[in-house]
Structure 1
Protein backbone atom coordinates (compact mmCIF):
# COMPACT_ATOMS: atom_id res chain seq x y z
CA UNK A 1 0.00 0.00 0.00
CA UNK A 2 1.50 3.27 -1.13
CA UNK A 3 2.12 6.01 1.37
CA UNK A 4 0.29 9.32 1.17
CA UNK A 5 2.77 11.87 -0.15
CA UNK A 6 3.05 15.05 1.92
CA UNK A 7 1.39 18.17 0.51
CA UNK A 8 4.44 20.41 0.44
CA UNK A 9 2.53 23.25 -1.21
CA UNK A 10 0.18 23.50 1.78
CA UNK A 11 3.01 23.71 4.30
CA UNK A 12 4.20 26.94 5.85
CA UNK A 13 6.97 28.80 4.02
CA UNK A 14 10.25 29.56 5.71
CA UNK A 15 9.62 33.27 5.07
CA UNK A 16 6.01 34.03 5.95
CA UNK A 17 5.29 36.67 3.31
CA UNK A 18 2.04 36.66 1.34
CA UNK A 19 2.12 37.05 -2.45
CA UNK A 20 -0.30 39.19 -4.41
CA UNK A 21 -0.17 37.12 -7.61
CA UNK A 22 0.88 33.54 -8.30
CA UNK A 23 -0.17 31.64 -11.38
CA UNK A 24 0.59 30.82 -14.98
CA UNK A 25 1.25 32.79 -18.16
CA UNK A 26 1.30 31.89 -21.83
CA UNK A 27 -1.83 29.72 -21.74
CA UNK A 28 -3.21 29.61 -25.30
CA UNK A 29 -6.87 28.95 -26.11
CA UNK A 30 -9.20 29.42 -29.05
CA UNK A 31 -11.94 31.94 -28.28
CA UNK A 32 -15.04 32.37 -30.43
CA UNK A 33 -16.29 35.94 -30.40
CA UNK A 34 -19.97 35.72 -31.29
CA UNK A 35 -21.78 38.22 -33.52
CA UNK A 36 -25.48 38.61 -34.24
CA UNK A 37 -26.44 36.95 -37.55
CA UNK A 38 -22.77 36.49 -38.50
CA UNK A 39 -20.19 33.79 -38.14
CA UNK A 40 -18.18 34.07 -34.91
CA UNK A 41 -14.70 35.56 -35.01
CA UNK A 42 -12.14 32.98 -33.92
CA UNK A 43 -9.27 34.35 -31.85
CA UNK A 44 -6.04 32.65 -30.82
CA UNK A 45 -5.85 34.14 -27.35
CA UNK A 46 -3.12 34.02 -24.74
CA UNK A 47 -4.10 34.07 -21.08
CA UNK A 48 -2.41 34.94 -17.81
CA UNK A 49 -4.14 33.62 -14.71
CA UNK A 50 -3.28 34.48 -11.10
CA UNK A 51 -4.54 34.07 -7.56
CA UNK A 52 -3.18 35.59 -4.38
CA UNK A 53 -1.32 33.43 -1.88
CA UNK A 54 -1.62 33.89 1.90
CA UNK A 55 1.52 34.14 3.99
CA UNK A 56 0.93 30.79 5.70
CA UNK A 57 0.94 28.72 2.51
CA UNK A 58 4.12 27.72 0.66
CA UNK A 59 2.63 27.44 -2.84
CA UNK A 60 -0.50 27.07 -4.96
CA UNK A 61 0.38 23.54 -6.14
CA UNK A 62 1.22 24.56 -9.69
CA UNK A 63 0.43 21.23 -11.38
CA UNK A 64 -3.00 20.80 -9.79
CA UNK A 65 -3.71 24.50 -10.14
CA UNK A 66 -2.89 24.36 -13.84
CA UNK A 67 -5.44 21.58 -14.19
CA UNK A 68 -8.05 23.72 -12.45
CA UNK A 69 -7.12 26.73 -14.58
CA UNK A 70 -7.23 24.71 -17.79
CA UNK A 71 -10.60 23.17 -16.96
CA UNK A 72 -12.00 26.58 -16.02
CA UNK A 73 -10.75 28.21 -19.21
CA UNK A 74 -12.03 25.31 -21.30
CA UNK A 75 -15.49 25.75 -19.78
CA UNK A 76 -15.33 29.50 -20.44
CA UNK A 77 -14.33 29.19 -24.11
CA UNK A 78 -16.48 26.15 -24.90
CA UNK A 79 -19.27 28.34 -26.24
CA UNK A 80 -19.18 31.58 -28.26
CA UNK A 81 -18.97 34.70 -26.10
CA UNK A 82 -20.13 38.21 -26.94
CA UNK A 83 -17.81 40.05 -24.55
CA UNK A 84 -14.34 38.72 -23.89
CA UNK A 85 -14.04 40.78 -20.72
CA UNK A 86 -17.17 39.08 -19.36
CA UNK A 87 -15.61 35.69 -20.12
CA UNK A 88 -12.52 36.75 -18.15
CA UNK A 89 -14.77 37.87 -15.30
CA UNK A 90 -16.65 34.57 -15.15
CA UNK A 91 -13.36 32.66 -15.23
CA UNK A 92 -11.93 34.73 -12.38
CA UNK A 93 -15.06 34.14 -10.30
CA UNK A 94 -14.86 30.36 -10.88
CA UNK A 95 -11.21 30.31 -9.89
CA UNK A 96 -12.01 32.19 -6.70
CA UNK A 97 -14.61 29.57 -5.83
CA UNK A 98 -12.19 26.69 -6.45
CA UNK A 99 -9.34 28.10 -4.33
CA UNK A 100 -10.46 28.16 -0.71
CA UNK A 101 -7.30 29.92 0.46
CA UNK A 102 -7.45 32.88 -1.95
CA UNK A 103 -9.28 36.20 -1.82
CA UNK A 104 -8.44 37.49 -5.31
CA UNK A 105 -8.32 35.95 -8.78
CA UNK A 106 -7.18 37.73 -11.94
CA UNK A 107 -7.51 36.67 -15.58
CA UNK A 108 -5.85 38.59 -18.41
CA UNK A 109 -6.20 37.90 -22.13
CA UNK A 110 -4.55 39.24 -25.28
CA UNK A 111 -5.22 38.32 -28.90
CA UNK A 112 -4.62 39.65 -32.39
CA UNK A 113 -7.80 40.94 -33.97
CA UNK A 114 -8.33 41.59 -37.69
CA UNK A 115 -10.23 44.75 -38.62
CA UNK A 116 -11.73 45.43 -42.04
CA UNK A 117 -10.53 48.72 -43.52
CA UNK A 118 -11.03 50.82 -46.63
CA UNK A 119 -8.15 52.86 -47.99
CA UNK A 120 -8.75 56.61 -47.58
CA UNK A 121 -8.48 57.74 -51.22
CA UNK A 122 -8.79 54.75 -53.56
CA UNK A 123 -11.50 53.14 -51.44
CA UNK A 124 -9.99 49.67 -51.72
CA UNK A 125 -10.80 47.02 -49.11
CA UNK A 126 -7.89 46.03 -46.90
CA UNK A 127 -7.27 44.40 -43.56
CA UNK A 128 -5.41 45.59 -40.52
CA UNK A 129 -4.57 44.07 -37.16
CA UNK A 130 -4.90 45.36 -33.63
CA UNK A 131 -4.14 43.66 -30.33
CA UNK A 132 -7.19 43.39 -28.12
CA UNK A 133 -6.77 43.06 -24.37
CA UNK A 134 -9.26 41.96 -21.76
CA UNK A 135 -8.94 41.34 -18.05
CA UNK A 136 -10.98 40.80 -14.93
CA UNK A 137 -10.36 40.72 -11.20
CA UNK A 138 -12.67 38.93 -8.77
CA UNK A 139 -12.37 39.71 -5.05
CA UNK A 140 -14.26 38.26 -2.14
CA UNK A 141 -17.21 40.43 -1.17
CA UNK A 142 -16.74 42.88 -4.08
CA UNK A 143 -18.21 43.21 -7.58
CA UNK A 144 -15.97 41.76 -10.27
CA UNK A 145 -14.18 44.44 -12.28
CA UNK A 146 -13.78 43.82 -16.00
CA UNK A 147 -11.53 45.58 -18.50
CA UNK A 148 -11.60 45.75 -22.30
CA UNK A 149 -9.21 47.60 -24.58
CA UNK A 150 -6.83 47.57 -27.50
CA UNK A 151 -3.31 48.39 -28.64
CA UNK A 152 -3.31 50.12 -32.06
CA UNK A 153 -0.78 51.78 -34.34
CA UNK A 154 -0.98 54.99 -36.30
CA UNK A 155 1.03 57.99 -37.48
CA UNK A 156 1.96 61.24 -35.76
CA UNK A 157 3.71 64.42 -36.94
CA UNK A 158 5.67 66.75 -34.66
CA UNK A 159 4.10 70.24 -34.49
CA UNK A 160 7.38 71.82 -33.38
CA UNK A 161 9.48 70.73 -36.37
CA UNK A 162 6.54 71.53 -38.66
CA UNK A 163 6.37 75.08 -37.29
CA UNK A 164 10.07 75.56 -37.98
CA UNK A 165 9.62 74.39 -41.57
CA UNK A 166 6.61 76.69 -41.97
CA UNK A 167 8.73 79.61 -40.80
CA UNK A 168 11.43 78.68 -43.31
CA UNK A 169 8.85 78.48 -46.14
CA UNK A 170 7.30 81.79 -45.11
CA UNK A 171 10.64 83.59 -45.21
CA UNK A 172 11.55 82.14 -48.61
CA UNK A 173 8.19 83.01 -50.14
CA UNK A 174 8.56 86.57 -48.83
CA UNK A 175 11.99 86.77 -50.50
CA UNK A 176 10.35 85.75 -53.77
CA UNK A 177 7.90 88.61 -53.48
CA UNK A 178 4.82 86.67 -52.40
CA UNK A 179 2.46 88.79 -50.31
CA UNK A 180 1.79 88.08 -46.64
CA UNK A 181 -1.85 87.13 -47.21
CA UNK A 182 -0.93 84.73 -50.02
CA UNK A 183 1.79 83.17 -47.88
CA UNK A 184 -0.70 82.61 -45.09
CA UNK A 185 -3.26 81.06 -47.45
CA UNK A 186 -0.60 78.81 -48.97
CA UNK A 187 0.61 77.51 -45.62
CA UNK A 188 -2.97 76.85 -44.50
CA UNK A 189 -3.66 74.87 -47.67
CA UNK A 190 -0.34 73.00 -47.84
CA UNK A 191 0.89 71.84 -44.40
CA UNK A 192 4.66 71.91 -44.23
CA UNK A 193 6.97 69.03 -43.43
CA UNK A 194 7.49 67.82 -39.88
CA UNK A 195 9.25 64.72 -38.68
CA UNK A 196 6.79 61.85 -38.50
CA UNK A 197 6.75 58.68 -36.46
CA UNK A 198 4.76 55.55 -35.95
CA UNK A 199 2.57 55.89 -32.87
CA UNK A 200 1.32 53.18 -30.53
CA UNK A 201 -1.88 53.90 -28.62
CA UNK A 202 -3.38 51.87 -25.79
CA UNK A 203 -6.90 52.44 -24.54
CA UNK A 204 -8.64 50.31 -21.90
CA UNK A 205 -11.85 50.78 -19.93
CA UNK A 206 -12.44 49.02 -16.61
CA UNK A 207 -15.93 48.74 -15.15
CA UNK A 208 -18.28 46.61 -13.07
CA UNK A 209 -21.41 45.01 -14.50
CA UNK A 210 -22.34 45.29 -18.18
CA UNK A 211 -21.19 48.73 -19.38
CA UNK A 212 -22.00 48.16 -23.09
CA UNK A 213 -18.54 49.08 -24.36
CA UNK A 214 -18.13 48.04 -28.00
CA UNK A 215 -14.62 46.82 -28.75
CA UNK A 216 -14.63 48.34 -32.24
CA UNK A 217 -15.55 51.73 -30.78
CA UNK A 218 -12.56 51.46 -28.46
CA UNK A 219 -10.34 50.69 -31.48
CA UNK A 220 -11.73 53.66 -33.43
CA UNK A 221 -11.21 56.12 -30.57
CA UNK A 222 -7.60 55.01 -30.13
CA UNK A 223 -6.80 55.12 -33.87
CA UNK A 224 -8.38 58.55 -34.35
CA UNK A 225 -6.46 60.08 -31.43
CA UNK A 226 -3.26 60.18 -33.50
CA UNK A 227 -2.42 62.46 -36.43
CA UNK A 228 -3.67 59.94 -39.00
CA UNK A 229 -4.61 56.31 -39.45
CA UNK A 230 -2.31 53.97 -41.34
CA UNK A 231 -3.25 51.14 -43.70
CA UNK A 232 -1.58 47.94 -44.90
CA UNK A 233 -2.60 48.62 -48.51
CA UNK A 234 -1.82 52.07 -49.88
CA UNK A 235 -1.88 53.14 -53.53
CA UNK A 236 -0.23 56.46 -54.38
CA UNK A 237 -3.45 58.47 -53.81
CA UNK A 238 -3.78 56.80 -50.41
CA UNK A 239 -0.20 57.63 -49.49
CA UNK A 240 -0.86 61.24 -50.44
CA UNK A 241 -4.09 61.29 -48.41
CA UNK A 242 -2.41 59.82 -45.31
CA UNK A 243 0.58 62.16 -45.53
CA UNK A 244 -1.64 65.22 -45.96
CA UNK A 245 -4.01 64.17 -43.17
CA UNK A 246 -1.17 63.60 -40.73
CA UNK A 247 0.58 66.90 -41.49
CA UNK A 248 -2.71 68.79 -41.29
CA UNK A 249 -3.23 67.30 -37.83
CA UNK A 250 0.21 67.46 -36.22
CA UNK A 251 0.22 66.29 -32.59
CA UNK A 252 2.65 65.90 -29.75
CA UNK A 253 2.53 62.61 -27.83
CA UNK A 254 0.70 64.52 -25.08
CA UNK A 255 -1.91 65.73 -27.59
CA UNK A 256 -2.68 62.14 -28.58
CA UNK A 257 -3.57 61.18 -25.01
CA UNK A 258 -5.74 64.29 -24.64
CA UNK A 259 -7.48 63.52 -27.95
CA UNK A 260 -8.09 59.99 -26.68
CA UNK A 261 -9.65 61.42 -23.53
CA UNK A 262 -11.93 63.62 -25.59
CA UNK A 263 -12.92 60.66 -27.75
CA UNK A 264 -13.71 58.49 -24.73
CA UNK A 265 -15.94 61.14 -23.18
CA UNK A 266 -17.75 61.66 -26.49
CA UNK A 267 -18.18 57.97 -27.40
CA UNK A 268 -18.81 56.43 -23.99
CA UNK A 269 -20.82 59.10 -22.20
CA UNK A 270 -23.03 56.37 -20.67
CA UNK A 271 -20.22 55.04 -18.44
CA UNK A 272 -20.50 55.27 -14.67
CA UNK A 273 -18.31 57.85 -12.99
CA UNK A 274 -16.19 55.15 -11.31
CA UNK A 275 -15.19 53.46 -14.59
CA UNK A 276 -11.39 53.57 -14.88
CA UNK A 277 -9.97 54.74 -18.21
CA UNK A 278 -6.32 54.04 -19.09
CA UNK A 279 -4.82 55.93 -22.04
CA UNK A 280 -1.23 55.55 -23.23
CA UNK A 281 0.65 56.84 -26.26
CA UNK A 282 4.20 55.93 -27.29
CA UNK A 283 5.87 57.31 -30.42
CA UNK A 284 8.86 55.75 -32.18
CA UNK A 285 10.81 58.93 -32.84
CA UNK A 286 12.27 59.17 -36.35
CA UNK A 287 15.01 61.77 -35.70
CA UNK A 288 15.96 60.72 -32.17
CA UNK A 289 17.29 57.52 -30.66
CA UNK A 290 14.80 57.78 -27.81
CA UNK A 291 11.02 57.44 -27.95
CA UNK A 292 8.28 59.64 -26.51
CA UNK A 293 5.61 58.48 -24.06
CA UNK A 294 2.57 59.95 -22.29
CA UNK A 295 -0.29 58.40 -20.37
CA UNK A 296 -3.24 59.11 -18.10
CA UNK A 297 -5.28 56.88 -15.81
CA UNK A 298 -8.47 58.44 -14.43
CA UNK A 299 -12.00 57.67 -13.36
CA UNK A 300 -14.51 58.55 -16.06
CA UNK A 301 -16.28 61.15 -13.94
CA UNK A 302 -13.03 63.04 -13.40
CA UNK A 303 -12.12 62.76 -17.07
CA UNK A 304 -15.50 64.03 -18.22
CA UNK A 305 -15.23 67.03 -15.92
CA UNK A 306 -11.80 67.95 -17.28
CA UNK A 307 -12.77 67.50 -20.93
CA UNK A 308 -15.97 69.53 -20.51
CA UNK A 309 -14.19 72.21 -18.46
CA UNK A 310 -16.33 71.67 -15.36
Structure 2
Protein backbone atom coordinates (compact mmCIF):
# COMPACT_ATOMS: atom_id res chain seq x y z
CA UNK A 1 0.00 0.00 0.00
CA UNK A 2 1.34 3.43 -0.96
CA UNK A 3 2.24 6.04 1.62
CA UNK A 4 0.08 9.16 1.36
CA UNK A 5 0.99 12.72 2.20
CA UNK A 6 -1.70 15.32 2.99
CA UNK A 7 -1.59 18.34 0.66
CA UNK A 8 -4.27 21.06 0.92
CA UNK A 9 -6.52 18.67 2.79
CA UNK A 10 -6.24 15.87 0.20
CA UNK A 11 -4.24 12.64 0.15
CA UNK A 12 -1.58 12.21 -2.57
CA UNK A 13 0.24 8.91 -3.00
CA UNK A 14 4.02 8.93 -2.36
CA UNK A 15 5.01 6.38 -5.01
CA UNK A 16 8.79 6.80 -4.56
CA UNK A 17 8.51 5.88 -0.90
CA UNK A 18 6.63 2.67 -1.56
CA UNK A 19 8.21 -0.75 -1.05
CA UNK A 20 10.17 -2.59 -3.74
CA UNK A 21 10.31 -6.39 -3.71
CA UNK A 22 13.18 -7.05 -6.16
CA UNK A 23 15.82 -6.99 -3.39
CA UNK A 24 18.29 -4.96 -5.52
CA UNK A 25 19.94 -1.84 -4.09
CA UNK A 26 20.99 1.05 -6.35
CA UNK A 27 24.47 2.54 -5.93
CA UNK A 28 23.68 5.99 -7.33
CA UNK A 29 20.36 7.63 -8.13
CA UNK A 30 19.64 11.32 -8.49
CA UNK A 31 19.84 14.19 -10.95
CA UNK A 32 22.45 14.80 -13.63
CA UNK A 33 23.50 17.83 -15.67
CA UNK A 34 21.58 20.59 -13.89
CA UNK A 35 22.92 24.16 -14.07
CA UNK A 36 22.74 26.60 -11.19
CA UNK A 37 24.27 30.03 -10.42
CA UNK A 38 26.95 29.98 -7.75
CA UNK A 39 29.52 32.22 -6.08
CA UNK A 40 33.00 30.73 -5.69
CA UNK A 41 35.67 31.92 -3.27
CA UNK A 42 38.49 33.68 -5.08
CA UNK A 43 41.95 34.39 -3.64
CA UNK A 44 42.40 37.77 -5.32
CA UNK A 45 38.89 39.24 -5.62
CA UNK A 46 37.11 37.54 -2.72
CA UNK A 47 34.56 35.75 -4.88
CA UNK A 48 33.46 35.32 -8.46
CA UNK A 49 30.03 34.57 -9.91
CA UNK A 50 29.70 31.59 -12.20
CA UNK A 51 27.27 29.00 -13.55
CA UNK A 52 27.99 25.52 -12.23
CA UNK A 53 26.83 22.20 -13.64
CA UNK A 54 25.81 19.65 -11.00
CA UNK A 55 25.49 15.88 -10.74
CA UNK A 56 23.90 14.81 -7.43
CA UNK A 57 23.38 11.20 -6.36
CA UNK A 58 22.58 9.11 -3.29
CA UNK A 59 22.39 5.38 -2.72
CA UNK A 60 18.97 3.72 -2.60
CA UNK A 61 18.32 0.69 -0.36
CA UNK A 62 16.78 -2.39 -1.95
CA UNK A 63 13.46 -1.95 -0.17
CA UNK A 64 12.62 1.52 -1.58
CA UNK A 65 11.11 1.99 -5.02
CA UNK A 66 12.58 5.44 -5.71
CA UNK A 67 14.12 8.61 -4.35
CA UNK A 68 12.62 12.10 -4.14
CA UNK A 69 14.21 13.91 -7.09
CA UNK A 70 12.70 17.30 -6.20
CA UNK A 71 14.70 17.41 -2.97
CA UNK A 72 17.98 17.63 -4.90
CA UNK A 73 16.80 20.85 -6.56
CA UNK A 74 15.55 22.19 -3.23
CA UNK A 75 19.02 21.64 -1.75
CA UNK A 76 20.63 23.53 -4.64
CA UNK A 77 18.22 26.43 -4.23
CA UNK A 78 19.07 26.67 -0.54
CA UNK A 79 22.82 26.95 -1.25
CA UNK A 80 23.02 30.07 -3.41
CA UNK A 81 25.59 31.57 -1.06
CA UNK A 82 29.33 31.55 -1.60
CA UNK A 83 30.66 28.02 -2.08
CA UNK A 84 33.69 26.85 -0.15
CA UNK A 85 34.99 23.36 0.60
CA UNK A 86 33.27 23.59 3.99
CA UNK A 87 29.90 24.62 2.56
CA UNK A 88 30.31 21.89 -0.08
CA UNK A 89 30.66 19.40 2.78
CA UNK A 90 27.49 20.83 4.34
CA UNK A 91 25.63 20.33 1.07
CA UNK A 92 26.74 16.68 0.98
CA UNK A 93 25.58 16.11 4.55
CA UNK A 94 22.25 17.82 3.96
CA UNK A 95 21.63 15.80 0.81
CA UNK A 96 22.16 12.42 2.46
CA UNK A 97 20.12 13.45 5.51
CA UNK A 98 17.13 14.75 3.54
CA UNK A 99 17.17 11.78 1.16
CA UNK A 100 17.63 9.37 4.11
CA UNK A 101 20.67 7.84 2.41
CA UNK A 102 23.84 6.26 3.76
CA UNK A 103 26.08 7.66 1.04
CA UNK A 104 26.06 10.56 -1.40
CA UNK A 105 28.02 12.02 -4.29
CA UNK A 106 28.09 15.55 -5.75
CA UNK A 107 30.05 16.84 -8.73
CA UNK A 108 30.12 20.59 -9.30
CA UNK A 109 31.79 21.69 -12.55
CA UNK A 110 32.34 25.34 -13.43
CA UNK A 111 34.64 27.73 -15.33
CA UNK A 112 37.07 29.54 -13.04
CA UNK A 113 38.78 32.74 -14.17
CA UNK A 114 42.11 34.23 -13.13
CA UNK A 115 43.12 37.76 -14.08
CA UNK A 116 46.69 37.23 -15.27
CA UNK A 117 49.38 39.84 -15.86
CA UNK A 118 51.56 39.54 -18.95
CA UNK A 119 55.24 39.08 -17.99
CA UNK A 120 56.74 42.17 -19.72
CA UNK A 121 54.02 44.63 -20.75
CA UNK A 122 51.97 44.06 -17.60
CA UNK A 123 48.72 44.01 -19.58
CA UNK A 124 45.96 42.12 -17.76
CA UNK A 125 43.61 39.53 -19.22
CA UNK A 126 41.38 36.71 -18.00
CA UNK A 127 42.28 33.06 -18.49
CA UNK A 128 39.69 30.38 -17.84
CA UNK A 129 40.23 27.00 -16.16
CA UNK A 130 37.86 24.04 -15.98
CA UNK A 131 37.30 23.18 -12.29
CA UNK A 132 35.27 20.43 -10.63
CA UNK A 133 34.56 19.95 -6.93
CA UNK A 134 33.88 16.27 -6.22
CA UNK A 135 32.36 15.20 -2.91
CA UNK A 136 31.67 11.74 -1.51
CA UNK A 137 30.12 11.00 1.87
CA UNK A 138 29.84 7.58 3.53
CA UNK A 139 28.64 7.08 7.08
CA UNK A 140 28.80 10.81 7.72
CA UNK A 141 32.47 11.08 6.66
CA UNK A 142 33.01 13.43 3.70
CA UNK A 143 35.87 13.25 1.19
CA UNK A 144 36.44 16.31 -0.99
CA UNK A 145 38.53 16.41 -4.15
CA UNK A 146 39.37 19.32 -6.45
CA UNK A 147 39.88 18.63 -10.15
CA UNK A 148 41.45 21.32 -12.37
CA UNK A 149 42.38 21.31 -16.05
CA UNK A 150 45.37 23.64 -16.49
CA UNK A 151 46.45 24.58 -20.06
CA UNK A 152 50.20 25.15 -20.39
CA UNK A 153 53.02 25.18 -22.95
CA UNK A 154 55.50 22.32 -23.27
CA UNK A 155 58.64 22.27 -25.40
CA UNK A 156 60.29 19.02 -26.50
CA UNK A 157 63.80 18.48 -25.03
CA UNK A 158 64.68 16.01 -27.81
CA UNK A 159 63.70 18.45 -30.55
CA UNK A 160 65.80 21.16 -28.94
CA UNK A 161 68.79 18.84 -28.59
CA UNK A 162 68.87 17.55 -32.17
CA UNK A 163 67.76 20.66 -34.07
CA UNK A 164 70.04 23.43 -35.30
CA UNK A 165 67.20 25.94 -35.45
CA UNK A 166 64.50 26.01 -32.79
CA UNK A 167 62.42 23.25 -31.22
CA UNK A 168 58.81 22.17 -31.56
CA UNK A 169 56.41 23.02 -28.76
CA UNK A 170 52.76 22.45 -28.10
CA UNK A 171 49.88 23.36 -25.86
CA UNK A 172 49.26 20.82 -23.13
CA UNK A 173 46.42 20.10 -20.75
CA UNK A 174 47.48 19.09 -17.27
CA UNK A 175 44.58 17.60 -15.31
CA UNK A 176 45.07 17.25 -11.57
CA UNK A 177 42.63 15.76 -9.08
CA UNK A 178 43.66 16.36 -5.49
CA UNK A 179 42.06 15.11 -2.28
CA UNK A 180 42.41 17.78 0.36
CA UNK A 181 42.60 17.61 4.16
CA UNK A 182 42.82 21.35 4.75
CA UNK A 183 41.83 24.62 3.08
CA UNK A 184 43.62 25.26 -0.21
CA UNK A 185 42.86 27.88 -2.85
CA UNK A 186 42.08 26.73 -6.37
CA UNK A 187 44.70 29.25 -7.49
CA UNK A 188 47.34 27.51 -5.36
CA UNK A 189 46.84 24.25 -7.23
CA UNK A 190 46.99 26.09 -10.56
CA UNK A 191 50.20 27.85 -9.47
CA UNK A 192 51.88 24.55 -8.61
CA UNK A 193 51.05 23.16 -12.05
CA UNK A 194 51.99 26.23 -14.10
CA UNK A 195 55.37 26.60 -12.42
CA UNK A 196 56.35 23.12 -13.65
CA UNK A 197 55.43 23.70 -17.30
CA UNK A 198 57.83 24.92 -19.98
CA UNK A 199 55.82 28.13 -19.78
CA UNK A 200 52.38 29.18 -18.56
CA UNK A 201 49.65 30.60 -20.82
CA UNK A 202 48.18 34.09 -20.90
CA UNK A 203 44.97 35.42 -22.39
CA UNK A 204 46.66 38.44 -23.97
CA UNK A 205 50.29 39.06 -24.97
CA UNK A 206 52.06 42.01 -26.58
CA UNK A 207 55.13 41.45 -28.77
CA UNK A 208 57.66 41.77 -25.90
CA UNK A 209 55.56 39.25 -23.92
CA UNK A 210 55.49 36.85 -26.88
CA UNK A 211 59.28 37.03 -27.10
CA UNK A 212 59.52 36.33 -23.37
CA UNK A 213 57.22 33.29 -23.30
CA UNK A 214 58.82 31.80 -26.42
CA UNK A 215 62.31 32.08 -24.94
CA UNK A 216 61.13 30.90 -21.52
CA UNK A 217 59.72 27.72 -23.03
CA UNK A 218 62.92 27.19 -25.04
CA UNK A 219 65.02 27.51 -21.88
CA UNK A 220 62.77 25.11 -19.97
CA UNK A 221 62.07 22.03 -22.14
CA UNK A 222 59.83 19.33 -20.66
CA UNK A 223 58.79 15.87 -21.80
CA UNK A 224 55.28 14.82 -20.78
CA UNK A 225 57.01 12.53 -18.26
CA UNK A 226 58.92 15.50 -16.79
CA UNK A 227 55.71 17.45 -16.40
CA UNK A 228 53.83 14.89 -14.28
CA UNK A 229 56.92 14.02 -12.20
CA UNK A 230 57.74 17.65 -11.39
CA UNK A 231 54.15 18.37 -10.37
CA UNK A 232 54.11 15.20 -8.24
CA UNK A 233 57.20 16.48 -6.39
CA UNK A 234 55.27 19.65 -5.48
CA UNK A 235 52.17 17.72 -4.41
CA UNK A 236 54.28 15.37 -2.29
CA UNK A 237 55.59 18.38 -0.37
CA UNK A 238 52.11 19.82 0.22
CA UNK A 239 50.63 18.47 3.46
CA UNK A 240 47.13 19.72 2.59
CA UNK A 241 47.00 17.26 -0.32
CA UNK A 242 46.52 13.68 0.86
CA UNK A 243 46.02 11.96 -2.50
CA UNK A 244 46.26 12.94 -6.15
CA UNK A 245 46.03 11.96 -9.79
CA UNK A 246 48.14 13.96 -12.24
CA UNK A 247 47.65 13.64 -16.00
CA UNK A 248 49.34 15.50 -18.82
CA UNK A 249 48.26 15.39 -22.43
CA UNK A 250 50.54 17.13 -24.91
CA UNK A 251 48.78 17.93 -28.20
CA UNK A 252 51.77 17.25 -30.43
CA UNK A 253 52.53 19.80 -33.14
CA UNK A 254 54.53 17.39 -35.36
CA UNK A 255 52.41 14.25 -34.85
CA UNK A 256 48.76 13.38 -35.33
CA UNK A 257 48.54 12.02 -31.79
CA UNK A 258 48.98 13.23 -28.23
CA UNK A 259 51.71 12.32 -25.76
CA UNK A 260 50.27 11.26 -22.38
CA UNK A 261 51.43 10.44 -18.85
CA UNK A 262 49.73 9.81 -15.50
CA UNK A 263 50.87 9.54 -11.88
CA UNK A 264 48.55 8.51 -9.05
CA UNK A 265 49.34 8.42 -5.35
CA UNK A 266 47.49 8.12 -2.06
CA UNK A 267 49.73 9.49 0.71
CA UNK A 268 47.57 7.94 3.43
CA UNK A 269 48.43 4.40 2.27
CA UNK A 270 51.90 5.29 0.97
CA UNK A 271 53.30 7.86 3.43
CA UNK A 272 56.82 7.56 2.08
Deviation at 1:264, TM superposition (A): 2.1
* 3-state secondary structure, aligned to 1:239: helix
1:215 and 2:194 aligned: no
Deviation at 1:201, TM superposition (A): 1.0
Deviation at 1:108, TM superposition (A): 0.9
Q: Of the candidates 71, 76, 82, which is equivalent to residue 68 of structure 1? A: 71
1:271 and 2:270 aligned: no
Alignment match, 2:38: 31
CA contact (8 A) 2:54 2:108 kept: yes
Q: How does 1:86-101 map to 2 (within 5 A)?
A: 86-100=86-100
CA contact (8 A) 1:156 1:199 kept: yes
Alignment match, 1:262: 233
CA contact (8 A) 1:30 1:42 kept: yes
Identify the structure with the greater strand proportion. Answer: 2
Deviation at 1:124, TM superposition (A): 1.5
Find the aligned partners of 2:48 and 2:17 in 1 and give their Cα distance: 40
Relative to structure 1, the CA distance from residue 225 to residue 37 in structure 2 (aligned partners, 3 Å threshold; closer, same or farther) is closer
Q: Of the candidates 46, 49, 71, which is equivalent to residue 53 of structure 2? A: 46
RMSD of Structure 2 on Structure 1 (CA): 2.6
Alignment match, 2:142: 144
Find the aligned partners of 2:31 and 2:212 in 1 and give their Cα distance: 45
* 3-state secondary structure, aligned to 1:233: coil
1:199 and 2:200 aligned: no
1:27-56: per-residue Cα shift (whole Å, max 9, x none)? 111112356995631121111111123344
Q: Of the candidates 227, 242, 245, which is equivalent to residue 213 of structure 2? A: 242
TM-score under structure 2 normalisation? 0.86
Relative to structure 1, the CA distance from residue 129 to residue 4 in structure 2 (aligned partners, 3 Å threshold; closer, same or farther) is closer
Relative to structure 1, the CA distance from residue 114 to residue 2 in structure 2 (aligned partners, 3 Å threshold; closer, same or farther) is closer
* 3-state secondary structure, aligned to 1:156: strand
Alignment match, 1:160: 158
Deviation at 1:150, TM superposition (A): 1.7
Relative to structure 1, the CA distance from residue 232 to residue 207 in structure 2 (aligned partners, 3 Å threshold; closer, same or farther) is closer
Paired residue total: 264
Find the aligned partners of 2:269 and 2:215 in 1 and give their Cα distance: 35
Relative to structure 1, the CA distance from residue 9 to residue 197 in structure 2 (aligned partners, 3 Å threshold; closer, same or farther) is farther
* 3-state secondary structure, aligned to 2:199: coil
TM-score under structure 1 normalisation? 0.76
Q: How does 1:98-113 map to 2 (within 5 A)?
A: 98-100=98-100, 102-113=101-112
1:288 and 2:255 aligned: yes
Identify the structure with the greater helix proportion. Answer: 1
Q: Of the candidates 20, 25, 35, which is equivalent to residue 12 of structure 1? A: 20
Find the aligned partners of 1:255 and 1:303 in 2 and give their Cα distance: 22
Find the aligned partners of 2:121 and 2:72 in 1 and give their Cα distance: 48
